[in-house]
Amino acid sequence: MNEPLPRNVTIRSIAKAAGVSKSTVSLVLKRSPLVKPATAEKVWAVVRQLGYVYNRNAASLSRGRSNIVGVIVNDLTNPFFVELLIGVERILNESGFITLMAHTAEDLTTQNNVLVSMREHNAAGIILCPAYDSSVDLTNQIADWGLPLVVVVRQLGELNYDFVGSDSYAGMYEATQYLISKGHRAIAYVGRSGRSHVSEQRRNGYLSAMNESGLEVDEEWLVDVPISAKGGQEGIQVLLRQNRRPSAVVCYNDRVAIGVLHELGKWGLRAGQDIAVIGFDDIAEAEHANPPLTTMAVNARLQGELASKLLLQRLGNPDATPDIAVIEPKLVVRATA
């Protein structure tokens, strides 16, 4: 009934049409310096003329490795991860890799499925931000699979793998210190306590700064809420209802801070005037928040770029010792503190 569909144009059809062997065509396609320029040009001409399309499945099959890099993040809804992803993509694309993106929504099962899938696709490597509660053994497991890995943002147990992240402790310390230097004494912390290395670090940074300045931390000022705008809203509500309101609030991250700003607005309060607010991450929204949010910038995009670079490095030298890149957060003063 239907036409004997025109066989796909392959490296062999090209070889035939160009009067060379398929091996030569293969060489030409990967721009090998071995082939004589004249031959190469002849082959390219045929390639263009026949509209040849390189078949990466075939290539990956025989090379035993694809040009796909898996990138796994938890929450695309958080612009921080989006920026990171963009950074990752930029560098990888430059090097001829393509990113297979997946997000886990903090679900361990999803995370596992995704990893398996990437393995099945013969990914060249993985850039992973582990979901909360990931086993500290995860990185070893991936290593055992022979998958080059770079972990970002959240460290897992020992750092015996390439890692890119920011110094949460120092960042929060500085944020708090800044508020103290502005004369604040009653400073609250809205975020999550525990569960992960990052949350611990952030809270500890805050606590240390307070302690070192001899400021007491009222139990009620450590507000434990989900890491989201909604969480921020809840957190500041709790604080505002206390009889001793804090004069400043340090937030786990910008999303939380934005929730705080939102709620303050509802109460007719103005952040930066009535109460100081400081965030963490410096996502794009921070700049355009109302009022513009003072925050600790961690340059997500740069982190993504670094992660890619570490991965490329590792691909080139699988046995090098792990590389750790930790970014120092920088205070960006805007209107809220």
Partner DNA sequence: TTTTTTATTTGGACCGGTCCAAATCGTGAG
Partner DNA sequence: CTCACGATTTGGACCGGTCCAAATAAAAAA
* 149, 162 Cβ separation under 8 angstroms: yes
Q: Which is nearer to DNA, 183 or 318 (CB)?
A: 318
Q: Nearest 5 degrees, angle CA 140-CA 227-CA 256? A: 135
Candidate list 21, 57, 135, 160; residue touching a second copy; CB under 8 A: 57
Burial of 317 (C-beta count, 10 Å sphere; 0-12/13-18/19+): exposed
Question: Cβ 76 to a second copy, closest distance in Å?
Answer: 5
Tell me the window of 26-34, 119-127, 189-197, 218-226 that interacts with a second copy (CB under 8 A). 119-127
215 binds a second copy (CB under 8 A): no
- Tokens 């060379």 belong to residue: 20
Tell me the window of 167-175, 185-193, 219-227, 259-267 that interacts with a second copy (CB under 8 A). 259-267
Instruction: For residue 315, give Cα distances in angstroms to 145, 236, 311.
Output: 14, 46, 6
Question: Cβ 68 to DNA, closest distance in Å?
Answer: 15
Q: Which helix (H) or strand (E) holds 264?
A: helix 254-266
Question: Cβ 153 to DNA, closest distance in Å?
Answer: 33
DSSP 175: H
Q: Which is nearer to DNA, 32 or 213 (CB)?
A: 32
- Tokens 């013969």 belong to residue: 122
Q: Which does 102 bind (CB under 5 to 8 A by kind): DNA, a second copy, none?
A: a second copy
Question: Cβ 105 to a second copy, closest distance in Å?
Answer: 9
108 binds a second copy (CB under 8 A): no
Question: Cβ 57 to DNA, closest distance in Å?
Answer: 7
- Tokens 């993106």 belong to residue: 101
95 binds a second copy (CB under 8 A): no
**SS3 labels along 35-74:** CCHHHHHHHHHHHHHHCCCCCHHHHHHHHCCCCEEEEEEC
* Residue count, binding to DNA (CB under 7 A): 30
Could you tell me how far CA 315 lies from the centroid of its own chain? Answer: 19
Binding-residue pattern over the window 67 to 86 for a second copy, x denoting contact by CB under 8 A: -x-------xx-x--xx-xx
Q: State the Cα–Cα distance between residues 313 and 174, nearest whole angstrom.
A: 32
Q: State the Cα–Cα distance between residues 274 and 198, nearest whole angstrom.
A: 29
> How many CB atoms are located within 10 Å of the residue 286 CB?
26
Q: State the Cα–Cα distance between residues 152 and 157, nearest whole angstrom.
A: 13
* 27-46: contacts with DNA (CB under 7 A): 27, 29-30, 33-36, 38-39
Which residue ranges make up the site for a second copy (CB under 8 A)?
53-58, 60-61, 66, 68, 76-77, 79, 82-83, 85-86, 89, 93, 98-103, 113, 116-117, 119-122, 229-230, 233, 258-259, 261-262, 264-266, 284-285, 287-292
Which residue ranges make up the site for DNA (CB under 7 A)?
7-8, 10-12, 20-24, 26-27, 29-30, 33-36, 38-39, 52-55, 58-59, 61-64
